[in-house]
Amino acid sequence: MFNLVLDPVPRECPSCATATQRWVQYKYGALRMSRHQVGDHIHHDEFDEGAPGHDRVGVEGLGAPCPNCGHDDDLVYDIVIESDVISSVALTSGEIDYLEQGNAYWVLLPGSQRPT
Ligand SMILES: [Zn+2]
């Protein structure tokens, strides 16, 4: 399972040229198909992936296909979660290696510390 966060920016579909906000799949926190928006606090009573309270976490997100025509343009996102609040969702810069810390598509970003 996974969660979903809404891309705040409409993205134009290369197939039908319709601009829509896409739902972005990600795996962090309690994986319950929750739908969030930027600024939301994610559930912290239970964590299937990651741990509560990290200062700054980067999570890889996968954009849903175009809701108008179903074309899958394989959008990839960088999601930043700060102290369990989704602080940004943006198309990926491609600069983050989400697997480098041995986690499933999330990393502690520079400046973050593991809770003691
Ligand atoms: Zn489309």
Section 85-110 average pLDDT: 95
Spatial distance between the Cα atoms of 75 and 12, rounded to a whole number of angstroms: 11
- Model-level pTM? 0.92
Cα(64) to centroid(ligand 1), Å: 11
pLDDT of the residue at 112: 61
- pLDDT higher for 45 or 70? 70
Give the residue among 93, 81, 95, 101 at the shortest CA–CA distance from 27: 81
pLDDT of the residue at 115: 52
Cα–Cα distances (Å) from 25 to 32, 36, 75, 116, in that order, read 11, 10, 11, 29
pLDDT tens across 6-49, in order? 999 999 999 999 999 999 999 999 999 999 999 999 976 788 99
Cα(75) to centroid(ligand 1), Å: 13
Cα(36) to centroid(ligand 1), Å: 23
Cα(60) to centroid(ligand 1), Å: 23
Per the prediction, the chain carries an average pLDDT of 93
